[in-house]
């Protein structure tokens, strides 16, 4: 499997595994140059952050500027996150993206995402403003994070009718761990495409071949190998409160048990199998993975070498009883 893929309107090839910059150290704005150096040296050249990830953009921007590598990395950032109110407006978008440019020490963002949706606002003004930034060379590809496929289709219908560039990327929750309860909410809430309820969403992405940047791709720690299928109570000691709220349910422990079984057979880790499940989908998926150690990212990269059959994919996701 290729380690990189091209995405329209993004200058550089995008690494199939994306480093998530929402960890505690970066959230606090700490200097994490050594960690990011390790990640970059492994060939991971794409970094996911957001205006609302504390000072994450500052940590990332300082590293990129100090290393002089802006032209060699792909930056994903997000705006219009709700702060006690719906903020999917042109005014809030301008405010957030200006802040991101300043914190990232850059004048363009390779992939820009709207962090939440507001189902009550008309789609047109937002699509038009994103096109303004795109035409000016300030953003490359753009799309929605936590936007349903129906709203993305609505945005793209508007773009087609007005001769504009459409949404070409999306970032929902996607992974073997089905998000049973929305961990964070906000505006129209978090959107996932995992599990039996969201087959229509996955069919949309298959049909459109739209790149999906999957967040919480390992279920906020549930599929990292630190949680064991036979010890549900132990998961509560390992995972944070949001992870427990969103993912710690019997159906996911059953998926975890199957992942552990297949990992043992393939001499792989649980996280490698869980990431391989995403990478072997029939539409392009770019799992976002966060870690505090370069060695863990190196381990995760082996997932790119693991091929899973259609039967194995369905079996891991509890869609069939045998493989």
**Mean of pLDDT over the chain:** 97
240 inside domain: yes
pLDDT tens column, 204-249: 999 999 999 999 999 999 999 999 999 999 999 999 999 999 999 9
**pLDDT in the model for residue 219:** 96
Could you list the residue range(s) of the whole structural domain that residue 189 is in?
4-316
Q: Is the pLDDT of residue 194 over 90?
A: yes
For residue 188, is pLDDT > 90?
A: no
pLDDT of amino acid 187: 79
How far is the CA of 189 from the CAs of 35, 55, 120, 141, 173, in angstroms?
32, 23, 13, 23, 12
220, part of any domain = yes
- 323 is a domain residue: no
CA distances from 284 to 157, 162, 172, 227, 323 (A): 22, 27, 13, 28, 24
Encode pLDDT of 49-77 as tens digits.
999 999 999 999 999 999 999 999 999 99
> Does residue 322 sit within a domain?
no
Packed helices 294-301 and 33-41: angle between N→C axes, nearest 10 degrees: 20
User: What was the pLDDT predicted at 186?
Assistant: 79
Residue 86 lies in a domain: yes
The answer to whether position 98 is within a domain reads yes
Q: Provide the pLDDT for residue 257.
A: 98
Residue 44 lies in a domain: yes
Would residue 321 count as lying in a domain?
A: no
- CATH number, domain of 120, equals 3.20.20.100
pLDDT of the residue at 204: 98
Residue 222 to residue 139: CA distance in whole angstroms: 34
Over residues 11-43, the pLDDT tens digits come to 999 999 999 999 999 999 999 999 999 999 999
**pLDDT, tens only, 261-278:** 999 999 999 999 999 999
Domain count, the chain: 1
Residues contacting 46, CB < 8 A, separation 6+: 14, 15, 18, 19, 73, 74, 75, 76, 286
**Residue 308, CA distances (Å) to 26, 203, 223 in order:** 34, 19, 17
pLDDT reading at 48 higher than 80: yes
């Amino acid at each position: 499997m290729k380690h990189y893929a091209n995405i329209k309107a993004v200058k550089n090839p995008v690494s199939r595994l994306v480093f998530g910059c929402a960890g505690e150290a970066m959230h606090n704005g700490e200097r994490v140059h050594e960690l990011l150096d390790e990640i970059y040296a492994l060939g991971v050249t794409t970094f996911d952050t957001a205006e609302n990830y504390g000072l994450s953009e500052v940590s990332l921007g300082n590293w990129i500027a100090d290393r002089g590598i802006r032209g060699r990395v792909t930056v994903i950032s997000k705006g219009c996150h709700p702060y006690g109110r719906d903020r999917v407006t042109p005014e809030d978008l301008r405010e957030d993206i200006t802040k991101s440019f300043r914190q990232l020490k850059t004048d363009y963002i390779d992939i820009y995402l709207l962090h939440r949706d507001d189902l009550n606002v008309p789609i047109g003004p937002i699509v038009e403003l994103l096109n303004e930034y795109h035409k000016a060379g300030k953003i490359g590809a753009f799309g929605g994070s936590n936007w349903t496929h129906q709203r993305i289709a609505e945005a793209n219908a508007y773009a087609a009718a007005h001769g504009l560039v459409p949404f070409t990327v999306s970032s929902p929750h996607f992974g073997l761990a089905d998000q049973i309860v929305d961990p964070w909410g906000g505006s129209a809430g978090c959107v996932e495409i995992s599990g039996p309820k969201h087959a229509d969403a996955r069919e949309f992405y298959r049909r459109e071949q739209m790149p999906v940047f999957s967040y919480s791709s390992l279920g906020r720690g549930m599929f990292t190998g630190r949680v064991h299928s036979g010890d549900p109570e132990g998961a509560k000691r390992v995972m944070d409160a949001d992870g427990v709220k969103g993912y710690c349910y019997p159906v996911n422990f059953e998926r975890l048990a199957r992942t552990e079984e297949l990992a043992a057979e393939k001499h792989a880790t649980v996280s490698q199998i869980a990431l391989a499940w995403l990478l072997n989908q029939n539409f392009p998926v770019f799992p976002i993975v966060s870690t505090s150690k370069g060695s863990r990212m190196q381990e995760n990269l082996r997932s790119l070498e693991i091929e899973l059959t259609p039967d194995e994919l369905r079996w891991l996701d509890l869609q069939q009883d045998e493989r």
